[in-house]
Amino acid sequence: MADNLNEQFSQIYDQYIDKIYRFIYLKVDSREAAEDITSKVFIKGWESYNDRGQDSNSMVKNPGAFLYQIARNSVVDYYRERGRTKTISPEISPEMADPDENPQNKAIISSDVAIIKKAIQKLDKDHQDIILWYYLEDMPVADIAKLLDKPAGTVRVMLHRGLKELKGIIQE
């Protein structure tokens, strides 16, 4: 039973570790912070998964949504702890934030990606999340709507507006 639980969580972990890390990394200013928050997200996920005796265990029902929700809250907590009023810190250059990045990521961050990351960070929190989930994680609008507890139509409009705003920021 315990081994089975391990195996199931192991699969969830493998499926979401990259996505959750990326989601967090794009919202914070350093790899260390992204790793720290991602650790907390998966530890909370594991605690919840262990508590699967409860019928309404959302971690078991929809682990992706559950992990993303923890990730969103954890990022908010992270900035609250640092005494920030904004969710993001666009003034901190992502290139400078990760001096110890691995060569692959270094190459990525050094180019247009840095501009995109910086621009995404200038969007408001919901627009950021919708764009990242839809375009980066290929999440259907219906799932995003559930995650944000908004109608699918509203999500589509927000997606459109967010993209337009992002384009405007990049072209500034």
Task: Give me the residues that bind another protein (CB under 8 A), please.
Answer: 2, 5-6, 9-10, 13-14, 17-18, 21-22, 25-26, 31-32, 34-36, 38-40, 42-43, 46-47, 50, 100, 102, 104-105, 108-109, 112-113, 115-117, 120, 131-132, 135-136, 163, 166-167, 170-171
Q: How far is the CB of 23 from another protein (least distance, A)?
A: 10
Q: How far apart are alpha carbons 56 and 53 in whole angstroms?
A: 9
Minimum distance, C-beta of residue 116 to another protein, in the bound complex (Å): 5
Q: Which is nearer to another protein, 45 or 145 (CB)?
A: 45
d(CA 136, CA 139): 8
Q: Considering beta carbons, is residue 107 or 151 the nearer one to another protein? A: 107
Q: Coil, strand, or helix at residue 26?
A: coil
**Smallest distance from another protein to CB 95, Å:** 13
Do 144 and 158 meet the contact criterion of CB atoms below 8 Å apart? no
Type of residue numbered 164: K
Q: How far is the CB of 85 from another protein (least distance, A)?
A: 25
C-beta of 4 vs 85, nearer to another protein: 4
* Cβ nearer to another protein, comparing 60 with 108: 108
Residue among 31 and 72 whose Cβ is closer to another protein: 31
Structure tokens at 131: 């764009």
Between CA 168 and CA 150 the distance in angstroms is 25
Distance CA 7, CA 71 (A): 22
Closest approach of Cβ 66 to another protein, in Å? Answer: 15
62: left (phi over 0), alpha (psi -120 to 50) or beta: beta
Q: Helix (H, G, I), strand (E, B), or coil: what is residue 123?
A: coil
